Structure 1
Amino acid sequence: MPLRRLAPVALISLLALGLIACTALTREEAAQALEEAELSGQASALTSNSIELTTTFTIGAAVEVAAGELVTFYEAQLPCAEVALAGATLTITYGVTGMCEYRGQRFAGSHSVTIMANEMSQVIVSHSWDALTNGELSVTGTAMVTWNGADLTRRVVHETTWTRISDGRQGVGSGDRTQAGLGGDITQGFTVDGSRSWDGDAGLWVLGIDSVAWRWDDPVPESGRYTLETPFDKNLTLTFSREDDTTILVVAASGAKEYEIRVNKR
């Protein structure tokens, strides 16, 4: 969940407010927490976008037929990708003719998709990524996605390793999240609840995700809350609320201190 644009403003706010109470994050810890959340968020957005690409098939069809429909979709909509089909498994290589782009995000790398079950009540799809990248971050790992036909949600259980390309910094982690279309319409955005955790340079980070709603063209969620447990035995909470069409208010709190950040669309 990309927090890239929060970091510079957040650091200035932290300095001005003196967010160094004994139970709060220090300035340096807060900077590291925001950076870790940014990197983990970029990895999540990258894989979520690739999962969304694999949803264009007929529910209830045989798994091999559904996989064939995905091939047709890729050939028509993403000529930047090369697709190979074997039974119900697709192997997709993005960026064969240059970086691919979908909903404003650029990516390249390898993605394997297996449709394991395709019933009206439940769809199960296995995903595997090898060096999937947006040019800044690379992700390798797996996810099992289970679609619930009754309440129109999907559960994503993942294990991934992300690497920042500029310096090789890594995070190794897992997560369990439930997602749904924003207002019932996934083309507008999504809602998510659950958690992610990862081991980074400083230790273990755990991110709780509570009723977060995110539009595809926004830089941060428009509502909901993140709670980040840090290796420093201190927490950082980020609460999101939309002020207008282009501005989202982020309230960051640690210990007894809190500060406000307004994030605008580019």
Structure 2
Amino acid sequence: MRSRALVGLVLTVVLSGCPKKKDDGESLTLAEAQQAVEESTLSSQAESLQAASVEITTSFTIGQAVQSAAQEIRDFVASQLPCAEITLADATLTVSYGAKAGSCTYKGHTFSGSHSIRVDKNEQAQVLVHHEWTDLSNGRVKLNGTADVTWDFQAKSRQVVHSVQWTRVLDGFTVTGEGDRTQTPLAGGVLEGIQVDGTRSWTSPRGAWDLTIDGVQMRWIDPVPQAGSYTLLTPKNKQLKLSFQRVDEDTIKVIVENGKRAFAFDVSKIGSVQPES
């Protein structure tokens, strides 16, 4: 009986002396934080390219026939991007960027590739437009896939539901993802940029990522938001908060934290990520 009690005492001492497994807050590393910034930056760059491509197709009269709306979109795209070759069939346009001489730059993005736009509904209460991209690129990111855009004119917003693949042109790093976001103009108007709320998820060579977007402010020319925050769930099931602060015209600070540890990074206008010294 005594020997059993001693064994129990020894086991209790040994088990209580074992180190506890570190939680996410203690185990977050600089490398993991930088990886999170790199993944979210590429996602933001794809979002910005996609949004600029959608924005150029918004100039038409509400309430008229879908075919007439498509014709107005064709005329506006041609006026803004003389480089584009545009074909129109019923309510669908196909735009080939760079097929002609002239500028291919809009909202800070110089387009190449092709873009199909189909006007599905054009009523006073709601407008539905379907987009399809084939190798759409701005020289930094390449986009393939589709999105459905629903306009709510009472709320002055648009909902974008996408399923796309985006590739970093520099090294071919490719991601497949989907999302559902609501976009509204910034205080200075849509010429300044957009506010985004919603979700994005994607799978990269590093694993599966889930992003919740909370009131981020995006200028057309920036690779990441200048304000607002992301909540990012990593492939290792770590929940991180990413917040954004503009440093200057060319740099945005991104702070990655999960309650116990925090790391800061500077993201340049071209999308490079460097730990803050």
TM-score, with length taken from structure 1: 0.84
Of 139, 147, 157, the residue aligned with 1:153 is 157
Q: What is the match of residue 187 of structure 2?
A: 183
| Superposed displacement of residue 235, structure 1 | 2.5
Q: Using the alignment, how far apart are the partners of 2:195 and 2:223 within structure 1? A: 15
Mean CA deviation greater in 213-222 or 203-212: 213-222
Q: What is the match of residue 85 of structure 1?
A: 88
Of 235, 239, 253, the residue aligned with 2:239 is 235
Equivalent runs, 1:114-263 vs 2, <5 Å: 114-183=118-187, 185-242=189-246, 248-261=252-265
| Superposed displacement of residue 182, structure 1 | 0.8
Q: Using the alignment, how far apart are the partners of 1:262 and 1:164 within structure 2? A: 19
Q: What is the match of residue 109 of structure 1?
A: 113
Q: Using the alignment, how far apart are the partners of 2:27 and 2:125 within structure 1? A: 46
Q: What is the match of residue 31 of structure 2?
A: 28
The 3 A distance-change label for structure 1 pair 217 and 200 is closer
The 3 A distance-change label for structure 1 pair 255 and 233 is farther
Q: Secondary structure, in 3 states, of the residue corresponding to 2:56?
A: helix
| Superposed displacement of residue 247, structure 1 | 6.7
Residue 92 of structure 2 aligns to which amino acid in structure 1? T
| Superposed displacement of residue 21, structure 1 | 7.1
Q: Secondary structure, in 3 states, of the residue corresponding to 2:53?
A: helix
Residue 142 of structure 1 aligns to which amino acid in structure 2? T
Residue 50 of structure 1 aligns to which amino acid in structure 2? S
Identity among equivalent pairs (%): 48
Q: Using the alignment, how far apart are the partners of 2:80 and 2:216 within structure 1? A: 29
Q: Using the alignment, how far apart are the partners of 1:30 and 1:249 within structure 2? A: 13
Contact 2:44 2:223 (8 Å CA) reproduced: no
| Superposed displacement of residue 252, structure 1 | 2.2
Q: Secondary structure, in 3 states, of the residue corresponding to 2:57?
A: helix
Greater relative contact order (Cα 8 A, min sep 6): structure 1 or 2? Answer: 1
Q: Using the alignment, how far apart are the partners of 1:77 and 1:85 within structure 2? A: 17
Q: Secondary structure, in 3 states, of the residue corresponding to 1:205?
A: strand
TM-score, with length taken from structure 2: 0.81
Q: Using the alignment, how far apart are the partners of 1:38 and 1:164 within structure 2? A: 11
Residue 240 of structure 2 aligns to which amino acid in structure 1? L
Q: What is the match of residue 44 of structure 2?
A: 41
Q: Using the alignment, how far apart are the partners of 2:139 and 2:266 within structure 1? A: 27
Q: Using the alignment, how far apart are the partners of 2:244 and 2:140 within structure 1? A: 25
Does structure 1 residue 56 correspond to structure 2 residue 73? no
The 3 A distance-change label for structure 1 pair 30 and 190 is same
Q: Secondary structure, in 3 states, of the residue corresponding to 1:55?
A: coil
Q: Using the alignment, how far apart are the partners of 1:216 and 1:162 within structure 2? A: 18
Q: Which has the larger radius of gyration?
A: 2
Q: Using the alignment, how far apart are the partners of 1:24 and 1:227 within structure 2? A: 18
- Listed as ranges, the gaps of 5+ residues in structure 1 are 1-19
| Superposed displacement of residue 101, structure 1 | 1.0
Mean CA deviation greater in 255-264 or 121-130: 255-264
The 3 A distance-change label for structure 1 pair 155 and 251 is same
Q: Using the alignment, how far apart are the partners of 1:55 and 1:90 within structure 2? A: 13
| Superposed displacement of residue 29, structure 1 | 2.1
Question: RMSD of aligned C-alpha atoms?
Answer: 2.4
| Superposed displacement of residue 73, structure 1 | 1.0
Paired residue total:
247
